[in-house]
Homo-oligomer: A and B are copies of this chain.
């Protein structure tokens, strides 16, 4: 079977209360990038964080982190546009990527497009209540077309995220329009625990995504379980030919004590190999996703 693309999702907006190994600052993210690369991850996804863990949208954070990663290893870089924590207009949300594109040492390889809108309030399962009540993750069609235009301009690869069937249908529409080129790389963002916005992190939750992939399109898919244990589903994903995006950003994995991101990657690699799929190297990942040459301004 095909090689498997393993992406390390090292921090998101996760706290350190359950696992202190969540990286916040650039040096911590760079360290984890190298460690995950050494274990077999070919893509790194991270969010800018300040020392106290709050979101950091400043371009400088991303420039420093990307440059640090490029110094150490060739792992492909997939930065965030800030999620709902960065509720700016389309240009504002893409501004940090524009800065990153000014020099080869800071340019990423992917830029994300969450292809739809969805309520993303935080659920409190112990209280049966919402901790927030006004978080709508808004990605209008116009905003997405702007992102697609800038991603194309820079020669980056679209990292497409689908939270539910409505997102996948908009991905299909964008493919018909030529806004999303093939092969498309689509991440199914399952959610569990304190986040109910996606399909649940169950076989049914995944099946209710894959059944709607358009048969006549070249789509390569990966799976996240945001706030849930993706390892409960990795065997199924590996066997079905999917790819895996995992890390302490999504879930603390305290089932294994207090693991590092690299230790989680190592577990996935071990399972994939046991099931007959070798982890894709950076170069193999670039070939599978047919990634072109990034165009930096400098």
Contact = CB atoms under 8 A, between A and B. Distances in A.
How many copies of the chain does the oligomer comprise? 2
A138 B118 CA distance: 8
A145 interface: yes
Given A166-B197, A208-B211, A212-B208, A173 B130 contact: yes
Contacts of A240: none
Contacts of A139: 119
Contacts of A142: 133-134
A88 to B, nearest CB: 16
Interface in A224-275: none
Contact of A141 (B132, B173, B177): B132
Interface in A141-160: 141-142, 145
A133 B145 CA distance: 9
Contacts of A119: 116-117, 139-141, 166, 170
Given A117-B118, A118-B166, A141-B119, A196 B208 contact: no
Interface stretch (A20-28, A56-64, A92-100, A198-206): A198-206
Counting from the closest, the 10 A-B pairs by CB-CB distance are A133-B142, A208-B208, A169-B196, A133-B141, A164-B164, A128-B176, A164-B166, A121-B141, A117-B136, A165-B199
17 contacts: A116-B119, A117-B119, A117-B136, A119-B141, A121-B141, A130-B177, A134-B142, A136-B138, A164-B164, A165-B198, A166-B199, A169-B196, A169-B197, A170-B196, A199-B212, A204-B211, A204-B212
Interface in A198-223: 198-200, 204-205, 208, 211-212
Interface residues of A, number: 40
Contact of A118 (B118, B177, B200): B118
Interface string A163-185: 11110011011001100000000
A164 to B, nearest CB: 4
A138 B166 CA distance: 14
Interface in A73-126: 116-119, 121, 123
Contacts of A166: 118-119, 163-164, 196-199
A78 B154 CA distance: 50
Contacts of A116: 118-119
Contacts of A134: 140-142
Contact of A177 (B117, B129, B164): B129
Given A134-B142, A169-B197, 12 more contacts: A116-B118, A117-B138, A118-B118, A118-B166, A119-B166, A119-B170, A123-B173, A134-B141, A135-B140, A166-B196, A169-B200, A170-B196
